Structure 1
Amino acid sequence: MSGVAAIILAAGLGSRFGGEAKPLARFRGAPMLAHVLAAAQGSRARPIIVVTGHDHDAVAAACADQAVSLVYNADYRSGLAGSLKAGMRALPEDCAGALVLLADMPLVQPATLDALIAGAELEPDHAAFVPVFDERRGNPVLLTRKLLPQIEALEGDRGAGPLLRAGAGIREIPVDDPGIHLDADTPQALAKIARE
């Protein structure tokens, strides 16, 4: 397999978060997005693409001085599918796929990202690679170019979940990372993760 990029989805409205840009909510002294960026930067994934939308200027400012490419999703109000499509369309030609990271999952470890990349290198015939911890799937996932037509058909506030539930060509990768299950959809969820 050729290169694997990292796509960080940071465009959402954060409606359950009270309207502020959710990726910028503070977690352990920094915006959640900073933790996700650090995980991507600590992995082998390159380039790193951040998809913005809601509160673009503030999210872009949080990425200042970082080695990332920004992609603006003008259709961010329509939901997650539009951001996923915008990120995948921005993949360089030499990338066979991308890790898709959510900006509200600040505890994912770089080693998890590298385990997904290693799995894709070992079994390049698969279409997607999903981390598993404690017998449960989580995020981020690695999606290959094989899925581009199906990704383009996605609509609304759903990511690649429907494609991954289909089963065919999906490889599960065991990881030692409870962070793949910990997302901060609400301020209460973020506080709970911070306490734990």
Structure 2
Amino acid sequence: MTYVSLATGVLLAAGYGSRFDPDGIHNKLLARLPEGKSVAHEAAHRLKLIVPRVVAVVRPGSDALARELNDAGCDVVFSAAAGRGMGASLAAGVEACDDAESWIVALADMPRIATTTIEAVASALGGGASLVAPFYRNQRGHPAGFGIAHRAALLALDGDAGARALFAAHTVTRVDVDDPGILRDIDTPDDLRDLDSAHA
């Protein structure tokens, strides 16, 4: 991989995963993929191949997950606010890298996003776009790219809506990709099995 973005990666890894394990015993992000890496490690690794720094946001007490993400090269931020939802996690991640001028935001339960897709989002940001999203067959997916113009709005996020309001209110630079991985998150054990069988 020759392209390295100047954007900072933010990996959201603070969800509860209650659909994967209703009893809260097993963190889905630590589930193993066929190649042996955890879901979170693989998602972080792919992001880290394109951006020089990845800040991963986890809940307090997620020590095993934090170690996995450290091993993948991430700077880990424990955010007590993360329990309020994805918006709060995203705000915490942006706040933790306040010297950044753009951000690529990915989800830790999406380990099959192609590095070429992350590179395409990063390239659009580098070319001056302030809000970027990849699309596969006309469906918007992850990761999302945000320029410095949206910093204040990102820091103000809270709750579980994430950055939907930003996408609704602003022009989005669309990057069309041949990458079903931008839509494949892991919510249930069946999702993990399906992901493994597809092995995208």
Provide the TM-score with structure 1 as the length reference: 0.89
RMSD: 1.7
Provide the TM-score with structure 2 as the length reference: 0.87
> Counterparts in 2 of 1:40-189, with a 5 A limit?
40-43=47-50, 45-53=51-59, 55-93=61-99, 95-122=100-127, 124=128, 126-166=129-169, 168-189=170-191
**Per-residue Cα deviation, 1:117-155 (whole angstroms, up to 9, x for no partner):** 111122x1x321000111211111011221122223332
Among 24, 37, 41, the alignment partner of 2:44 is 37
**Paired residue type of 2:120:** A
Give 1:57 shift. Answer: 0.5
The list of structure 1 runs, each at least 4 consecutive aligned residues, that deviate by more than 4 angstroms after superposition, is none
Decide whether the 8 Å contact of 1:129 with 1:142 is kept in 2. Answer: yes
Q: Which ranges of structure 1 fall in alignment gaps of 5 or more residues? A: none
| Whole-angstrom distance in 2 between the partners of 1:22 and 1:161 | 24
Sort the Cα spacing of 1:103 and 1:66 in 2 relative to 1 into closer, same or farther, 3 A: closer
Q: Which ranges of structure 2 fall in alignment gaps of 5 or more residues? A: none
| Whole-angstrom distance in 1 between the partners of 2:71 and 2:17 | 25
| Whole-angstrom distance in 1 between the partners of 2:184 and 2:94 | 24
The count of corresponding residues between Structure 1 and Structure 2 is 190
Q: Percent identity?
A: 31
